[in-house]
Structure 1
Amino acid sequence: MLKKRFKGSCHCGEIEFEINTNFPELTTCDCSICLRKNALMVKVHESDFKLIKGEDFLSEYQFHTHTAHHYFCRQCGIYPFHRKRVTPDFYGINVFCLEGFDATGIPIRKTVGAGMD
């Protein structure tokens, strides 16, 4: 299946990005931060991610092993994406930040983050 380009942004629009994906699956996670932000994510390789604008509006949060990089808009507080811990050359993209996205028919996999060392 061919990858399609999607544009995404935070709520206030200061952060904009693009991804290319064919949405093989979506994921949820049960770690302490993912439970609280309640995001539905798609995994994309760093070569399929492009930050268009807003680097200066990104606020980074790290916890536990300080390996994953969770990014938030410092103006509106929205979580658009994170750099993954186990696969650091991939991003987890919050699909609720994508324009025109519809999750219908895409399998959702529950990942176990709470039990990670």
Structure 2
Amino acid sequence: MHKQSGSCHCGRVTFELQADIREAMECNCSICHREGAIWFGADDASLRILSGESDLSLYQFGTMAAKHYFCGVCGVSTFSRPRIAPNWWVVNLRCIDGIDLSELKIYPFDGRNWESAALQYAQSRKHKAK
């Protein structure tokens, strides 16, 4: 596992991600599409907020299940608690230093059609577990 460093644009929110990043997800829902975020899933033990936790703002919409965190100073979305897995984090890889997105396998997630995409995702996870 590699320690990755990341931050928002102004540098108030800094974090570390302990992970080997080889793949990520790009969601086309109304917020992710506009943000241009590329997401990597992480558990609580893998993500550590180093500074700026008090500068984070929370945005929720729709079902209010997902928690989208962003820097209240510069507005950059650093990480979220996704609706599909609210006990996990998704980290915006565009906020991690030194990540070359062209080297990653980026899977699409059809967030515009969330219910069917979530069902398809759950079925694929069950298939992988077998």
Could you say whether these structures have the same fold, taking a TM-score greater than 0.5 normalized by the shorter chain as the test?
Answer: yes
Shift in Å at residue 42 of structure 1? 1.0
Percent identity of the aligned residues?
36
What is residue 85 of structure 1 aligned with on the other side? 83
Q: CA RMSD in A?
A: 1.1
TM-score, with structure 2 as normaliser: 0.83
Matched, 1:38 2:36: yes
Residues in 2 aligned to 1:44 and 1:103: alpha-carbon distance in whole angstroms: 17
Provide the secondary structure at the position in 1 that maps to 2:18: strand
Shift in Å at residue 91 of structure 1? 1.0
Find 1:49's aligned residue among 18, 37, 47.
Answer: 47
Deviations 1:67-94 (A, max 9, x none): 1100111111111111111111211111
Residues in 2 aligned to 1:32 and 1:72: alpha-carbon distance in whole angstroms: 16
What is residue 107 of structure 1 aligned with on the other side? 105
Q: Which has the higher helix share?
A: 2
Shift in Å at residue 12 of structure 1? 0.6
Shift in Å at residue 59 of structure 1? 0.5
Matched, 1:59 2:79: no
Residues in 1 aligned to 2:99 and 2:106: alpha-carbon distance in whole angstroms: 15
Q: Which moved more, 1:58-67 or 1:103-112?
A: 103-112
Letter in 2 for 1:68: A
What is residue 95 of structure 1 aligned with on the other side? 93
Q: Structure 2 unaligned runs (5+)? A: 116-130
Deviations 1:36-82 (A, max 9, x none): 11111111112101111111100100011101100111111111111
What is residue 68 of structure 1 aligned with on the other side? 66
Are the structure 2 counterparts of residues 24 and 89 from structure 1 closer, same or farther at C-alpha, using a change threshold of 3 Å?
farther
Shift in Å at residue 103 of structure 1? 2.3
Residues in 1 aligned to 2:44 and 2:73: alpha-carbon distance in whole angstroms: 25
TM-score, with structure 1 as normaliser: 0.92
Q: Structure 1 unaligned runs (5+)? A: none
Write out the 4+ residue segments of structure 1 that deviate beyond 6 Å after TM superposition: none
Q: What is the count of residue pairs matched by the alignment?
A: 115
